[in-house]
Structure 1
């Protein structure tokens, strides 16, 4: 049975202040809560004076040791509350092996803040005072809310608008959509020209494009939609999702898709937007098989949470029964045979990365045949960004409060 103690957090392979930061999970470097500099390094006086942005990638892992391992479902991680040091923290999901130089550092960052206004049980709206107004609050995303006595997870709203009329019989349109603000990337404009029906879409950055549209734009905050067609357009209608939040200064008013189960007082309550990670479960899959008659059953393989590490592994047959194997990250994994169990070790944990029994092989394999498999660990990555504004003062102990959940 899965226990709370089975969920652990680990550093990545590389903790650096450059583009190489990140990589795979380092199973030998567990993050211990409450330890100074557990995730981020000390901020220098130069960084406080001129400002800085520091990135770190951590991994939420299911280390349940049963065989077969117990999955951890619907994992989520949230920063709840803001920093006590004048800096800001943000989070977003990461890949199994990505590094900062390949990360989209500009969008999709969530975080937490203080409850701005007290609310009663049954409320369907929350106001959160974030450290700044650049935090993302996606539709249909869990929020974590906690005080000294209670904690809960509630979903943000996800309200769809369909068939809203923008007019007919014109070449140029300028209308304000009724249910603004509009969620970026959800707008679909339907229209008819010369008896043919078309659909235009927004690009998530405010531009609207489609057949016979010479220019189009949407102001997501106000809902102002402008469209210029190269001919008369009839029956113009819009589908979109209403964005669940709006900022006034650094305070976000967020519509909820369900009721808050407890009353919360603004004096001692914090809240944050979850990074939703999915299931923490080790898996093995076939990327490619190059063989005329050889067969392979993934379902016959055995995995352990404490052994599986992200890798792409190439198995090259040197005869009808023997093969050599190498991982993209693990390197050489030695030799094996289809007549016995092949169980190469994770070099950091001394537990097999995976076990392939003889029963997994079928058909006729031949020298030169290749099997490429992908190994996924029972872990998911979270990027955390620390923004230190220029002129930030010194803080002896800066804390970051987080909350996690699995089913």
Structure 2
């Protein structure tokens, strides 16, 4: 069965604050869709008067029970806020925090079509909230939509690549977007209800592992010592249970080992004769990973190790909220950030 919409989920970062430690790794706290203050707190009067810039880190996770990866994912601001504030997004890493941000990150966002267009045009004008955000750049993939909402089955939507040279010119806060040679609009769009967004294009979303290493005199896994990564009998990752972690297996004798995660600490013990090793992630009742027993070979000794990393089936995206000084209050203020892709 292909990936279902309900299996594309948003998760908070481990730390959510307005300090330099904000962000970090993915947490087990799912963000409820369409719920007030699910990402951002309200903006008090003093903050509106003075203005502010804040960040939140959100992980887009593929929580598919069959471990099917999301191919060609696309992430974008589908609808900008109706208020005076603006929300922009940009890629993060699995572990970065707000303290690592420089303020010069490439930003992505959404604007409004300036004038109604017809089928076949090769450029459009888009009104943005601020040219200083530079949300459109040469070579960008953009999304154009007049749908009432992101899941609407009616209306028009298409993705178009901008020219790599001369694809974007600015006149104040208005951007003229010129399409790549050979591309043109496949539908007509009215300026009254058409949004245009720049698109983040991450790699396929799946749980992965790597950085396999260790130390032993005569032990093997998948027929080789731990300085050579296995290629046949490999760690099996559960898309729901896998997390960002560095795992170290340390042998206590020729048969038994313990497993420690770099932030989790101990997650249990196993043996080379005791079946597959699959430490449980209690947040989801799924294994962090499974190490097949069939891979063990050679002669292991006390103190010898295997170390490897796992990465979750999730993409980290920073959200940046800019509240200009003197912004008006709006109780129904909201932003729509969306992800699309194809099932493997």
TM-score w.r.t. length of structure 1: 0.75
8 Å Cα contact 1:284/1:374 also seen in 2: yes
- Structure showing greater radius of gyration is 1
**Deviation of residue 94 (structure 1)?**
0.9
Question: 2:48 is paired with a residue of what secondary structure?
Answer: helix
**Is this contact kept in 1: 2:90–2:105, CA < 8 A?**
no
Matches within 5 A, 1:213-228: none
CA shift digits 1:328-371 (9 cap, x unpaired)? 12221121112221111113112110111211223332222221
Q: How many residues align?
A: 321
C-alpha contact (below 8 Å) 1:80/1:113 kept by paired residues: no
Change (3 A) 1:122 1:292: farther
Is 1:64 aligned to residue 70 of structure 2?
A: no
C-alpha change, 1:122 and 1:361, in structure 2 (3 Å) is farther
**Farther off after superposition, 102-111 or 262-271:** 102-111
Q: Tell me what 2:214 maps to.
A: 289
- Equivalence map 1:211-290=2 (5 Å): 242-257=165-180, 258-290=183-215
Task: Tell me the alpha carbon deviations over residues 61-89 of structure 1, each in whole angstroms, 9 at most, x when there is no partner.
Answer: 111101xx111111121013432110111
User: Which whole-Å CA distance do the structure 2 matches of 1:125 and 1:254 have between them?
Assistant: 5
Determine the C-alpha separation between the residues in 2 that align with 1:34 and 1:140: 32
Question: 2:86 matched to 1:80?
Answer: no
Residue 302 (structure 1) shift: 2.1
Shift of residue 306 of structure 1?
Answer: 1.0
Q: Does 1:344 align with 2:279?
A: yes
The alignment yields a C-alpha RMSD, in angstroms, of: 1.6
CA distance in 1, matches of 2:34, 2:289: 34
Provide the rounded CA distance (Å) in 2 between the counterparts of 1:136 and 1:291.
51
In structure 1, the residue corresponding to 2:204 is in which secondary structure?
strand
Q: Is the partner of 2:281 in helix, strand or coil?
A: coil
Residue 243 of structure 1: CA displacement?
A: 4.8
Match of 2:117 in 1: 119
Name the SS for the 1:34 alignment partner: coil
Q: 1:319 to 1:78 in 2, by over 3 A?
A: same
Change (3 A) 1:320 1:137: farther
Query: Which digits, 9 at most, give the CA deviation of each residue in 1:5-46, with x for residues without a partner?
Result: 22111111111111111122222x222222111111101111
Measure the CA separation in 2 of the matches of 1:105 and 1:321. 51
Per-residue CA deviation, residues 286-343 of structure 1 (Å, 9 max, x unaligned), is 3322223333345433221111011111112222221111111222112111222111
The answer to whether structure 1 residue 22 and structure 2 residue 20 are counterparts is: no
Deviation at 1:261, TM superposition (A): 2.0
Query: What is the distance in 1 between the residues matched to 2:93 and 2:321?
Result: 19
Structure 2 CA distance for aligned equivalents of residues 47 and 151 of structure 1: 37
**Structure with greater proportional strand content:** 1
Once the two structures are superposed, the pairs formed by residues 81-160 of structure 1 within 5 Å of their partners are: 81-133=79-131, 134-148=133-147, 149-158=155-164
Question: After TM superposition, what 4+ stretches of structure 1 lie above 6 angstroms from structure 2?
Answer: none
Deviates more, 1:378-387 or 1:282-291: 282-291
- CA distance in structure 2 between the aligned counterparts of 1:330 and 1:52, rounded to whole angstroms: 35
Cα distance per residue 1:215-239 (max 9 Å; x no partner): xxxxxxxxxxxxxxxxxxxxxxxxx
CA–CA distance in structure 1, aligned partners of residues 271 and 208 of structure 2: 22
Q: 1:362 to 1:253 in 2, by over 3 A?
A: farther
Is the Cα contact below 8 Å between 2:123 and 2:176 reproduced in 1? yes
**TM-score, with length taken from structure 2:** 0.88
Aligned residues of 1:308 and 1:353 also touching (Cα < 8 A)? yes
Q: Distance in 2 between matches of 1:79 and 1:264?
A: 18
Give ranges in structure 2 of 5+ residues lacking alignment.
148-154, 223-229
